[in-house]
Amino acid sequence: MKLVTAIIQPDKLDDVREALIAAEITRITVSRVSGHGRSVNQDLYRGQVVAPNLLPKVRLDIACNDAFVEIAVEAILQAARHNGGRIGDGKIFITHLEECIRIRTGERGGDAI
């Protein structure tokens, strides 16, 4: 089991969700986060361009069995890029997932995902 964590641009959330659902990955957790990578965001406020320090991003957490890791990664890669790839499109982290427990039944392991 692996935990796929993706940090993406907020405006790509719909596209990534649609791509994941098309790849039959529906069990995900989404949160709003702030962070900083290499991108410099520019917002317009009353006509003045402002570059804030921390930028809003969306974080997806997907726990999946090993067979689904590449499918999930491929779907995110295809959907989260702006015009074929741009600084600020985000990152994907894959970590080993030690255990997974379904609270309702107490099931453990791959079946619980």
Partner 1 sequence: MIFLAFAALFPVYAQSPAPCAVDSGATAWMLTSTAFVLLMIPGLAMFYGGLVRTKNVLGTMMHSFAAMAIVGVLWVVCGYAMSFGPNTLGGWIGWKKEYFFLSGIDTTILSAHVPEYVFAMFQGKFAMITPALIAGAFAERVSFRGYCLFITLWSLLVYNPLCHWVWASDGFLFKLGTIDFAGGTVVHIAAGVSGLTAALYLGARRGYPKTAMNPSNLVMTLMGAGLLWVGWFGFNAGSSVSSGLDTARALAVTQVAAATGAAMWMVIEALQHNKATSLGIVSGILAGLVVITPAAGVVQPAGAMALAAVASLVCYASIQIKNRMGYDDSLDVFGIHGVAGLLGALFLSFFIRPAWMAEAADKAGGSWTAWQQLAVQSAGVGLTILYSGLLSLGLVVLVEKTVGFRLESKLESAGMDSSLHGEQGYGLINLS
Cβ distance 82 to 30 under 8 Å? Answer: no
Radius of gyration of the chain (CA): 16
Tell whether residue 10 is a contact of partner 1 (CB under 8 A). yes
Tell whether residue 55 is a contact of partner 1 (CB under 8 A). yes
Tell which one of 37, 43, 93, 102 touches partner 1 (CB under 8 A).
Answer: 43
Tell which one of 27, 40, 52, 66 touches partner 1 (CB under 8 A).
Answer: 52
What 8-state DSSP symbol labels residue 101? B
Cβ distance 102 to 1 under 8 Å? Answer: no
Note the residues at the interface with partner 1 (CB under 8 A).
10-12, 14-15, 32-34, 42-45, 52-56
